Structure 1
Amino acid sequence: MRKIRNLLLTLYFYFIATVYIVFYGGFVLFRSFLMRDREKARKYVLKEIEKFGKRAFTWLFSDVVVEGSENIPKDRNFIVVANHQSLMDIPLILGFVATGAFIAKEELRKIPGVNWYIRYLNGVFLDRKNPRRAVRALREAIEKLKNGVTFIVFPEGTRSPDGKVLSFKKDSLMIAVKTGVPVLPVSIWGTYHLIPKGRWTFTPGKVFLKIHEPVDPKGFSSEEELRKYVEEVVKRGVEELKARWSK
């Protein structure tokens, strides 16, 4: 019975999410294009993206518990650094932390709706198979950070197969060191149980999100020192959330 329920929920979610992103998302971008006030238009689109992030969990009949929202910087851009448990981490961050730009894998460039919003949010596409293009993408991200864009980074480089935090990839926080933009560590627990890596069906449940205090990269002597510190903050947060989720 539970498998049938989850299958129906999954089909419902994929249908409504596709319609929402492609058709309603297209309408939102078109409407913003017609607005004369460009600042007002951008605020409108960003608000709609935030709504999508929150509605994604409503469609899955799943609650999100957020801790530390007061730590989100209000007066400048920053780099969200989070662990990566599932594909639901993206709407989670967009809806409850920041409507920032992504360093997205090259394959997402071909997905209608998704690629529109990656571009709109000033994201960059990273082709790991082509070192020259990868370097160019990172340089582009650095320039955008210097111009005030907020970025969202998953330093593990892939989704965790069991929910545990993987080691952060070498140089994954180099953009923070190069720009001096504050890092906002975020711990996620629960999205792994909604839809783990390698599975396509959803199971509704509760998700916990902990937003830590911002970290100034200028206080560290190297990218490695900053990376290990932020990784430890995120790991401790995940363990705390896991203990709370298990109760």
Structure 2
Amino acid sequence: MIKSARTFSYLFGYLPIAAANLAKFKKRKTGMSQEEYSKLIHSEPQKWASGIMKRTGSQVEVSGLDYLPEGPVLFVSNHEGNFDIPVLLSSIPKPFGFISKEEVRKFPIIPSYMEEMNCVFLDRTDRRSAFKSITDTIGKLHEGHSILIFPEGTRSKGQGLKEFKAGFMRIAKEAGVPVVPIAIEGTSRIMENNNNQIRPARVKVQVLEPLTPQELDAAGVKAAQLVRSRIEQALADVQ
């Protein structure tokens, strides 16, 4: 109960500071390169996410950061729990946006930051929104921004890897960027498996070797399964 209160107090209590910093960052945008501004914007969510993870008392082990290539990439990760995003924001030094539920727009301040991070919003009840999210993501990648996607669509809550929705491969192929698989294990033990009470957990994040556009093209219709298999094997190795 205490860790839950501390975590959520920090989560929402930090928002006024984040809003003030965002205003400062926007003023500095003129004259900065896209890469410089992306790093500046990423620094605040990274700090916020690190503070959240510290208050959960969890230990996060990260491997494979040497695999991170230059330029835009499509990060493809399994989706175990609600703490996947804070864990990845605090662990991955490369700036990225992500595909998020449309409902997040109802929160204060957070959507403004997400827009600057080049996140894409998706309304799962609207097929046109789903199509637009794909084209928007391709556009972000073409502009040079990296994007994270959870192709399972919903949290597994530690109950095994779900099937991947195939749309992410269309994004990767049309954008012509590398796919960087990520295997994340242990986030469901922070909250989902504790009746939504926050408890410390050991979390392991594995950044796996990228798949180049050429490798994805060569895999053809099996490309999505290839990405999923690499993540599945990495998760199995943790057990």
> Same fold judged by TM-score > 0.5?
yes
Contact 1:65 1:208 in 2 (8 A): yes
Contact kept? 1:28, 1:45, Cα under 8 Å = no
Residue equivalent to 1:19: 13
Are 1:88 and 2:83 counterparts?
yes
Partners in 2 of 1:223 and 1:31 — Cα distance? 46
Q: CA deviation at 1:41?
A: 5.1
Structure-2 separation of matches of 1:239 and 1:123: 30
Find out whether 1:211 has 2:211 as its counterpart.
no
Q: 1:111 aligns with which of 92, 107, 118?
A: 107
Asked whether the equivalents of residues 39 and 95 of structure 2 are also in contact (C-alpha less than 8 Å), the reply is: no
Match of 2:227 among 226, 230, 245: 230
Deviations 1:143-182 (A, max 9, x none): 1111111000001000003341111113232100111110
The count of aligned residue pairs is 234
Matched, 1:179 2:187: no
Residue 83 of structure 1 contacts residue 165 of structure 1 at CA under 8 Å; is this kept in 2? Answer: yes
Cα distance in 1 for partners of 2:80, 2:220 equals 24
Q: Distance in 1 between matches of 2:210 and 2:125?
A: 32
Q: Distance in 1 between matches of 2:38 and 2:149?
A: 22
User: Which one of 138, 144, 154 corresponds to residue 150 of structure 2?
Assistant: 154
Give % identity.
27
Compared CA separation, residues 106 and 77, structure 1 to 2 (3 A) = same
Q: CA deviation at 1:214?
A: 0.5
Trace 1:33-72 onto structure 2 (pairs within 5 A). Answer: 33-35=26-28, 37-39=31-33, 42-72=38-68
RMSD of aligned Cα (Å)? 1.9
SS of 1:43 mapped into structure 2: helix
1:76 counterpart residue number? 71
Find runs of 4+ consecutive structure 1 residues off by over 6 angstroms: none
**Per-residue deviation at 1:220?**
3.2
CA distance in 1, matches of 2:194, 2:118: 29
> What displacement does 1:188 show?
0.6
Task: Identify unmatched segments of 5+ residues in structure 2.
Answer: none
The answer to whether 1:121 aligns with 2:117 is: yes
8 Å CA contact 2:41–2:116 kept in 1: the answer is no
Q: CA deviation at 1:30?
A: 1.3
Cα distance, 1:38 vs structure 2: 3.5
The aligned runs of 1:187-202 (5 Å cut-off) are 187-196=183-192, 199-202=195-198
Segment of structure 1 superposing worse, 121-130 or 42-51: 42-51
Structure 1 gaps, min length 5: 1-6
Q: CA deviation at 1:207?
A: 0.8
Partner amino acid for 1:15? S
